[in-house]
Amino acid sequence: MTNSYIFSYMIIMKNLNLVCPVPQNQRPINEYKKIKKSVAFLWSTKSSRLYFQNILQVVVLSLLFCLFFICTSSSSSNNLHNELLYSFIVTSTLLIGICLRTYLGWVYIYDRLIQGTVAYEESGWYDGQIWVKTPETLIQDKLAGGYTVLPLLNRLKNTLGIFLCILILSFLLLN
């Protein structure tokens, strides 16, 4: 009796895999789980306090590095104002690059989660195929996109805006 249940379960699971022919690593929810754990994107998923601590650490370290490099390479110390502004420009540019890369990665995942179809991206027999998500899968993906990815995107947009303003202001204040 137990073996028949196990066999039935295996047939059902096999049929479920036939319903979704997209390989496991290309399913949007699995891509979301993978990117959420990756080192390059992990910092953006932290709580607001840890997120801003990470940003502040990068700002302080890059400012100190830039100030040290600029101060040691320049011959006159009369232009501390400009050296500080150059440090802000380099730091802002660095953080804009990091945040923009993270933002674009999350936008890709968000788009894949909220779309009703999944396009195959792997070369092979399924190239160019499109799978229409089942209602259950679509609901699950939209919930993950709306409640976890969208707040991350908004926070990254705000961070990008802040550092873009710092960059523009630094350029305007530069003599």
What pLDDT does residue 174 have?
A: 86
Question: How many independent structural domains does the chain possess?
Answer: 1
In a domain, 13, yes or no: no
Residue 14 C-beta-side C-alpha neighbours within 13 Å = 6
In a domain, 5, yes or no: no
Beta bridge partners of 94: none
* Tokens 């009796």 sit on residue: 1
In a domain, 98, yes or no: yes
In a domain, 15, yes or no: no
Rg for the chain, CA atoms, rounded: 24
What pLDDT does residue 76 have?
A: 66
Q: 173 near 83, Cβ under 8 Å?
A: no
Q: 32 near 105, Cβ under 8 Å?
A: no
DSSP code string of the chain? -HHHHHHHHHHHHHHHHHH--S-GGGSHHHHHHHHHHSHHHHGGGS-HHHHHHHHHHHHHHHHHHHHHHHHHH-S-STTHHHHHHHHHHHHHHHHHHHHHHHHHHHHHHHHHHHSSEEE--SSSTTTT-EEEPPHHHHHHHHHHIIIIIHHHHHHHHHHHHHHHHHHHHHHHH--
pLDDT by 10-residue block (mean), the chain, 175 residues: 49 50 85 93 94 95 89 72 88 96 97 90 65 90 95 97 96 87
What pLDDT does residue 8 have?
A: 47
What pLDDT does residue 125 have?
A: 61
Closest-CA residue to 102 (of 170, 59, 55): 55
In a domain, 155, yes or no: yes
Domain span at residue 133? 23-173
